Amino acid sequence: MPAIETVDLCKTYVSVKKQPGIVGSLKGLFSREKTEVQAVKNVSLRIEQGELVGFLGPNGAGKTTTIKMLTGILYPTSGEAKVLGYRPTDRNPEMLRKISLVMGNKMQLWWDLPAWDSFVVLRELYDVPHDLFKERVDFLVETLQISDKIQTQVRKLSLGERMKCELVAALLHRPSVVFLDEPTIGLDVVSQKRIRDFLRELHRQDGCTIILTSHYMQDVQELCKRVVVIDHGTMIFDGTLDSLSQRFSDSRRLRLSFSEEVQQADLERFGKVLSYEDSIAVLDIPRAEVAAVTGSVLNALPVSDIAVEDVDIDEVIRTLFERKG
């Protein structure tokens, strides 16, 4: 049984268009012009248990709406969804005990209480035995390095410390499926790295299924073998990061080191020069011409080292969304 399965999942929002002024308000009493926005369109997805999948897309693409439907927060307009064999809209207590949702811009901890007090309340809600609760909390707070923070009022914690406490609260009942919606948003690079390391260790220890959305591609590159890309509510890609780069990037990078100085004009004969400094040049080469250009460069220039690299995944994603937009 897959952890998550959707078939033609759709969500349409209907809103009323109001004309400005008093006249518009009066007209609205008798006739209303409705507009429909399709936030999610026919998303069919299958995620096996134990997978760690990156869910990518620009703002407004439909990622969070999809996650909210998979957790039962929103009802789909049409289509089917199942999580661990349950329909999310049924809000089955057994399913709710097996899933968890962390949203980087939402808090579930009580602002004026220490995080520990929230953990104790959640222990009761999820009916976690005391011995297992202590073992679990010890593992989570030690791995996240916040043992000295959980007795501090949440309002007095830094953003990174609060997010780590949010992760503990969401994971203390050992969920089978974890939805992480921008868990590193607004954090500094050190905090981002620590949370990525923690999620990698959590996945190794628990074997849980993790769905991760993030605008920081470093999160996805370090954690996810598989990515799903959604844009304007439509799923446009499902596969590995390498295959994403190959499919949506027409070029590769040729990094060259020279044993003696060469002129930039000599480099421009072989491709677009992206940079040239300290006898190191980076050329943009059409993917289909890499082999031929590499041979020509080696014959014509004093190359001491050469490397062929894929285009940075951030650039691939940005170009992809610009095309679709």
> pLDDT for 223-265, tens place per residue?
998 999 998 889 999 999 888 887 887 888 899 999 888 888 8
Q: What does the mean pLDDT of the chain come to?
A: 88
Handedness of CA 214, 218, 219, 222 (dihedral sign): positive
Centre a 10 Å sphere on the Cβ of residue 51 and count the other Cβ atoms it contains. 18
User: Band of the pLDDT at 271, cuts 50, 70, 90?
Assistant: confident
Which DSSP state fits 311?
P
Taking the C-alpha atoms of 39, 43, 48 and 54 in order, what is their torsion angle to the nearest 10 degrees?
A: -50
Is the Cβ–Cβ distance between 216 and 58 less than 8 Å? no
Task: Pick from 24-28, 222-226, 316-320 the range whose average pLDDT is largest.
Answer: 222-226
224-262 in b/e form (b: 16+ CB < 10 A) is bebbbbbbbbbbbebeebeebbeebbebbbbebebeeeb
Q: Band of the pLDDT at 216, cuts 50, 70, 90?
A: confident
Residue type, 250: D
* Nearest alpha carbon to residue 233 among 84, 15, 69: 69
- pLDDT for position 26: 64
pTM here is 0.83
Closest CA to 184 of 176, 174, 194: 194
The residue among 308, 300, 248 whose CA lies nearest residue 283 is 308
Rounded Cα gap, residues 322 and 319, in angstroms: 5
- Residue scoring higher pLDDT (81 or 318): 81
User: Helix H segments across 3-85?
Assistant: 21-30, 63-70
Q: Taking 90 as the threshold, does the pLDDT of residue 71 lie above it?
A: yes
Spatial separation of the C-alpha atoms in residues 215 and 163, rounded to whole Å: 16
DSSP H or E stretch at residue 266: helix 264-268
The sign of the CA dihedral 180, 185, 187, 193 is positive
> What is the arithmetic mean of pLDDT over 90-119?
90
* Rounded-to-integer distance, Cα 238 and Cα 262, Å: 43
At residue 317, the pLDDT reads 80
Q: What percent of the chain has pLDDT over 70?
A: 95
Positive or negative, the CA dihedral 138, 118, 101, 193 is: negative
- Residue 325 pLDDT: 55
